[in-house]
Chains A and B, each alone.
Chain A
Amino acid sequence: MFEAPANPPVPLSVTGLHKRYGATTVLQDLQLRVEPGAVHGLVGLNGSGKTTTLECILGMRPFDGGEIRVLGHAPDALYRSEGAIVSIFDSPSLHPHLTVRQVLEHAALLCQHPVRSPAEVEALLGIVKYSGYRIRELSLGNRRRASIAQALLGSPGFVILDEPFNGLDAGGVDDVLDLIARLNREEGTAFLLSSHQLPYLERVCSHLSVLHKGQIVLSGAVTELFNAGDTRLRVRCDDVVRALTLVQDLPGVQVEDTREPGLLTLRIGQSNPALVNQTLVSKGILVSELAPERPSLTSLFHAITSADPLQAPAERGAA
């Protein structure tokens, strides 16, 4: 298990980032912070500015205002991190005429402190049998695997992935998610993942930020964000009429739906579902099902992006 250093450097700190394309403002006072050891998801609609944000962070695109520090380095000096920062892009970004092994040997030449050999990372990503294939001959999924493989030759402290699941089959997605979780757990590697695949992010991310119309409108630890949302509770019992009168008196509990026979759907906010159960059982009502439904990342995301959060971004409660 990885032991964190006493004062680990902040993987990413973005303050007041502004970016314009001509007269169009793409990013406006963007604030983003990735904590040490976090797996941070960056989600947003198409055109929300995710790729521009990553390009600014990685020093690929000049920006008009604000400050970015990646492991303490300015975006145009990431190479000074000696391989502590790596990125995997939306397109695999590899030399198409090189074979997988040659791509890895090329990456090894650029890696100051390699901890794995090309053969080891090929095995890690399951691409040994494609070792002699040219990049242009590979499927998108295997190109992405090769791209991830070259990032793992060293021991990066911070990995930035743009749409890492594009082109991967279900098994490939599981492999990548497992790899992210393992590197995070065993080596303390922090990640910033930009993706549209919300269910995948939900599986692996410890923190989330929602980018909408060029601003971060929601950011924080996943547990906090979901707890802050309104939990629904499905209660199946033998006497719905009595149950209804009992739960209405409980603090923070609202009845949402009673149309299905024998089933109550409640909105309990931050209340404990056990309190509802205890109340009903103590009055002799038999509870056969008690199912809390916390908001998913997808529902949270849709709730935010379907409104116009720029009207009142502060109310969205950036954590």
Chain B
Amino acid sequence: MSAFIATLRAELYVARRSTSAWLLVLLPAFAVVLRATIVKLAESGQAARDALLGGGDDMAVASNAWGQFVDGFATGLTLLSLSLVAWAAWSFASDRDTGALRHVLIRRSSRMHLVLAKLCTVWLLALCALLLLAAGTSATCALLWEFGPVVEDGYELIGSEEIREEVWLGLRLALIPLPAALAFGVLVSVLAQSATQAVTAALGISLALDVFKGVLGEAAHYLYARYQPSLIDQSYLQDVGRLVRGYSDVMIDPQVLALNEWVPLPQLLLFVMLALLAVRRKPL
């Protein structure tokens, strides 16, 4: 265990001094703040125009922060998961390219510990990025809009407590597949012949899964990528974005929510096991 901790500490030492790791942590939050600012500017412009033309019927719904919070988080998570998958794919393969992992293997760590340390490092980076994303999104949305119930024509469409519950559920369900996605990146990293090949393959496969999950029909429910916020988003967070805006036509299938809860876990275990098996015989 002490060897694993030492390896993890060494990995974190390198990650803390890596510009790419810092970008990875900062970029999603920065993108969400930028997005919210642009949306607010566009809204303000629209509101000013509507005021001049005598419109502005939907202002109560549009100015609620929850919708922007969910949209911002979904954007941030999409960016975060793609960039982290790329980083996970780059991490092991890059160290093999430079030969840096040889020193770790000879001095302190087994191959298995090294792969697990890489995985934990990328998970910790994801945690940091998520915390910053949550803080950035909350603060920006609170600054630019108001968190509160959705009210239209004096009638409360959805209360604050209910919104919070839905948002929390949406975020939880959106985060469940993330460890599996990152483990997939590490698996590709172990299997690839070079860092370039690893990043290209991991991003290519992730985007291909995103594109093809729509044509897989029911079978897509058994794929972790189905539940991730992504470019072609089918995650529950997308539904939450509509729910917290007061839309009543959102169809929620409890069975799909249940699948969202457990489908990513066996795939996470499968990816980790495959990575550990592959690294045993891999020339390094």
**A interface residues, Cβ below 8 angstroms from B:** 55, 58-62, 76-79, 83, 85-87, 89, 91-98, 102, 105-107, 109-112, 150
List residues of chain A with CB within 8 A of the CB of B17: 97-98, 102
List residues of chain B with CB within 8 A of the CB of A105: 13
Q: What are 7 residue pairs bridging A and B, where the CB atoms are less than 8 Å apart in the complex? A: A93-B100, A94-B98, A95-B100, A102-B13, A109-B6, A110-B7, A110-B10
List residues of chain B with CB within 8 A of the CB of A102: 13, 17
Closest-CB distance, B92 to chain A (whole angstroms): 13
Contact B14 A95 (CB under 8 A): yes
Closest-CB distance, A26 to chain B (whole angstroms): 12
Measured between alpha carbons, how far is A145 from B284 in the docked complex, in Å?
Answer: 23
Closest-CB distance, B40 to chain A (whole angstroms): 37
List residues of chain B with CB within 8 A of the CB of A55: 283
For B18, the closest partner residue in chain A by CB is: A97
- Residues of B1-35 at the interface with A, using a CB-CB cut-off of 8 Å, are 3, 6-7, 9-10, 13-14, 17-19
List residues of chain A with CB within 8 A of the CB of B13: 102, 105-106, 109
> Does any Cβ of A come within 8 Å of B49's Cβ?
no
* Per-residue A-contact encoding for B95-109, CB less than 8 Å = 1, 0 else: 100111011111111
Which residue in A59, A62, A96, A111 is a CB contact (below 8 Å) of B98? Answer: A96
Known: A106-B14, A110-B6. A87 touches B111 (CB 8 A): no
Measured between alpha carbons, how far is A62 from B108 in the docked complex, in Å?
Answer: 19
Measured between alpha carbons, how far is A242 from B44 in the docked complex, in Å?
Answer: 116
**B interface residues, Cβ below 8 angstroms from A:** 3, 6-7, 9-10, 13-14, 17-19, 95, 98-100, 102-111, 281, 283-284
Contact A59 B107 (CB under 8 A): no
Known: A78-B106, A106-B10, A109-B10. 9 other contacts (CB 8 A): A58-B102, A60-B105, A60-B284, A61-B283, A79-B3, A95-B98, A98-B14, A110-B10, A110-B108
Most buried by B among A93, A102, A112: A93
Q: Which 5 A-B pairs have the closest CB atoms?
A: A93-B99, A110-B108, A109-B10, A110-B107, A61-B283
Closest-CB distance, B137 to chain A (whole angstroms): 30
Measured between alpha carbons, how far is A107 from B14 in the docked complex, in Å?
Answer: 11
Contact B103 A76 (CB under 8 A): no
Measured between alpha carbons, how far is A18 from B192 in the docked complex, in Å?
Answer: 26
For A83, the closest partner residue in chain B by CB is: B107
Most buried by B among A93, A102, A109: A109
List residues of chain B with CB within 8 A of the CB of A150: 103
